[in-house]
């Protein structure tokens, strides 16, 4: 095959990514979802039925089975026929394990799905696609999976992500639990999109080949252990793990056990489709006093608890394209005109909870208007921020253990951060 796959995606009928495996780091799940949206828009066009499509430097090859789309993306000059044949083989393998391949069977067996994908493709190159051979290595009973034997190390290289013989003077682990809030508010002030995308990001500086165990306030785990649930327990959904995580162990007892790569990596990602109250609400009123002057009054209100605060707040306010010479006054922070964005950027270093701050701006407009005035641009207000020591979902790290045969002591550091993702308010 001339080229290899960059990533493999399993999507639902609406184009949302259910499961994906990243092999080369050059095609994201967001790109795949955007491409699928384009595909739906061209439905009915003869070209939309083609199993191979090219978009923005990426070749997409896909097949549909029941209510699932299987798709491979590649930035290389690949053999499309070979990869399409591979996708059909993936369907056969999944049907062998789950009887029927559909969205429900994927959600019920996502751990087995990841194990199978790891065995069937390595660094973007197809490996085992015979269900009979795979059954010798991976055996599943309903929702349980038992790995009884592994293929030769030369094929899978089970710890290929970590080099041997690493040594550090100070052994440390840094774990950041980061959740990005995506919110879209329409011009009527109604929330039309609200979800949370989370990631457990790690930086490890550990000697040898350490074994790490991570415990979360996972409701399923706590109930299985018969432990009293103190505080908030969460139901983990839409989880994707780094390849270092022992998926069979997680499926059996919900333990996140792994030998970590050296340096930075995403241990786990997840998504929660939940209604989130906007943490920073922005209202903007524009009044034209004459043909040559526009006044803007903006109110920004923090909608979180007093003891919390947002940092690095940046509110991007669209202004008329022909505005100039602004006079800006703020009750907190500073604002600057960014003509390249046709926006006024209001920056606040620390925005404490349950507070309201205002911005007033006067803009001048050309005194001579064009004969054919172009419609006023209705760009959204965009907000950026970070809230340290706070997490929307309530996920908590109960413990992080590092065990290495030499017996050294490692120092784990855990931080929680909520930040703005695609945060837009169409209030103008």
Query: Residue 219 pLDDT more than 90?
Result: no
Least Cα distance to 414 among 174, 179, 211 occurs for 174
* Residue 122: C-alpha distances to residues 21, 127, 154, 216, 343 (Å): 10, 7, 11, 30, 47
Q: What is the mean pLDDT of residues 31-52?
A: 70
| Of the listed ranges 18-22, 271-275, 334-338, the one predicted with least confidence | 271-275
**Look-up of token digits 């991976």:** 138
Rounded to whole angstroms, the maximal C-alpha distance in the chain is: 80
Q: Per DSSP, which regions of 94-171 are E strands?
A: 121-122, 125-126, 138-141, 144-147
Higher pLDDT, 253 or 190: 190
pLDDT tens track for 383-398: 999 999 999 988 889 8
356-364 and 58-65 strand pairing: unpaired
Distance CA 201, CA 417 (A): 11
Average pLDDT of the chain? 83
| Per-residue model confidence (pLDDT) at position 144 | 35
| Of the listed ranges 62-66, 99-103, 353-357, 422-426, the one predicted with least confidence | 99-103
Higher pLDDT, 336 or 226: 336
Least Cα distance to 77 among 25, 5, 146, 173 occurs for 5
Which DSSP state fits 47? G
Assess contact for 295 and 311: CB atoms under 8 A: no
First-residue to last-residue Cα distance in the chain: 53
| Per-residue model confidence (pLDDT) at position 54 | 85
pLDDT tens track for 76-97: 888 888 899 999 999 988 888 8
Q: What is the mean pLDDT of residues 219-245?
A: 66
What is the Rg, in whole angstroms, of the alpha carbon atoms belonging to the chain?
Answer: 26
Query: Residue 232 pLDDT more than 70?
Result: no
Q: Reduce the DSSP state of residue 203 to 3 states and report it.
A: strand
Sheet containing strand 58-65, edge to edge, reads 17-22, 7-11, 68-74, 58-65, 52-55
| ∠ CA 128-131-134, rounded to 5° | 60
* Residue 373: C-alpha distances to residues 281, 342, 402, 408 (Å): 32, 17, 66, 72
List the domains of the chain with CATH numbers: 7-156 (3.30.450.60), 172-276+392-425 (2.60.40.1170), 280-388 (2.60.40.1170)
Q: What is the mean pLDDT of residues 86-113?
A: 84
* Residue 371: C-alpha distances to residues 368, 374 (Å): 9, 9
Crossing angle between the packed helical segments 80-98 and 110-120, to the nearest 10 degrees: 140
**Global pTM?**
0.60
Distance CA 307, CA 413 (A): 22
| Per-residue model confidence (pLDDT) at position 339 | 87
Percent of the chain surpassing pLDDT 90? 39
Distance CA 258, CA 240 (A): 14
| Per-residue model confidence (pLDDT) at position 211 | 93
| Per-residue model confidence (pLDDT) at position 371 | 47
| Per-residue model confidence (pLDDT) at position 233 | 56
Query: Residue 206 pLDDT more than 90?
Result: yes
Question: How deeply is 196 buried, as exposed, middle or buried, from its count of CB atoms within 10 A (0-12, 13-18, 19+)?
Answer: buried
Query: Residue 223 pLDDT more than 70?
Result: no
| Per-residue model confidence (pLDDT) at position 200 | 96
Q: Which residue stretches of 225-358 are H helix?
A: 247-253
pLDDT tens track for 114-126: 888 888 888 888 8
Confidence band, pLDDT 50/70/90 cuts, at residue 184: very high
Q: Per DSSP, which regions of 156-259 are E strands?
A: 172-185, 191-205, 211-216, 240-241, 256-258
Assess contact for 177 and 415: CB atoms under 8 A: yes
Distance CA 116, CA 264 (A): 26
343-352 and 411-425 strand pairing: unpaired
| Per-residue model confidence (pLDDT) at position 402 | 94
Confidence band, pLDDT 50/70/90 cuts, at residue 48: low
How many residues does the structure list for the chain?
428
Q: Reduce the DSSP state of residue 65 to 3 states and report it.
A: strand
Assess contact for 309 and 353: CB atoms under 8 A: yes
């Amino acid at each position: 095959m001339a080229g290899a796959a960059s990533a493999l995606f399993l999507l639902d009928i609406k184009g949302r990514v259910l499961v994906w495996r990243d092999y080369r780091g050059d095609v994201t799940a967001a790109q795949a979802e955007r491409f699928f949206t384009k595909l739906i828009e061209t439905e009915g066009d003869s070209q939309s039925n083609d199993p191979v499509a090219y978009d923005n430097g990426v070749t997409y090859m896909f097949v549909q089975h029941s209510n699932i789309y299987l798709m491979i993306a590649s930035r290389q000059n690949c053999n499309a026929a070979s990869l399409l044949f591979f996708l059909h083989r993936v369907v056969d393998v999944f049907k062998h394990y789950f009887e029927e391949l559909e969205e429900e069977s994927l959600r019920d067996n996502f751990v087995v799905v990841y194990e199978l994908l790891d065995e069937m493709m390595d660094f973007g190159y197809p490996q085992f696609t015979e269900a009979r051979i795979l059954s010798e290595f991976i055996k599943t009973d309903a929702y349980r999976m038992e790995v009884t034997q592994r293929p030769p190390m030369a094929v899978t290289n089970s710890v290929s992500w970590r080099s041997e013989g690493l040594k550090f003077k100070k052994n440390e682990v840094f774990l950041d639990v980061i959740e990005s809030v995506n919110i879209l508010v329409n011009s009527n002030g109604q929330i039309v999109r609200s979800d949370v995308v989370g990631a457990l990001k790690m930086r490890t500086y550990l000697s040898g080949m350490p074994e790490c165990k991570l415990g979360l306030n996972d409701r399923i785990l706590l109930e299985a252990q018969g432990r009293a649930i103190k505080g908030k327990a969460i139901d983990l959904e839409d989880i994707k793990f780094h390849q270092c995580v022992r998926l069979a162990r997680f499926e059996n007892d919900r333990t996140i056990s792994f030998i970590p790569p050296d340096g930075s990596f995403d241990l786990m990602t997840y998504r929660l489709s939940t209604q989130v109250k906007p943490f920073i609400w922005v209202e903007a009123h524009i009044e034209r006093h004459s043909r040559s002057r526009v006044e803007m009054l903006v109110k920004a209100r923090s909608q979180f608890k007093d003891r919390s605060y947002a940092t690095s707040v940046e509110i991007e306010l669209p202004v008329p394209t022909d505005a100039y010479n602004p006079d800006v006054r703020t009750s907190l922070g500073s604002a600057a005109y960014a003509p390249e964005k046709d926006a006024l950027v209001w920056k606040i270093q620390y925005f404490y909870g349950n507070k309201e701050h205002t911005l007033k701006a006067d803009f001048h407009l050309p005194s001579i208007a064009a004969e054919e005035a172009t419609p006023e641009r209705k760009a959204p207000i965009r907000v950026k921020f970070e809230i340290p020591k706070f997490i929307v979902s309530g996920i908590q790290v109960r413990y992080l253990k590092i065990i290495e045969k030499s017996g050294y002591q490692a120092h784990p550091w855990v931080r929680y951060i909520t930040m703005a993702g695609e945060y837009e308010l169409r209030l103008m």
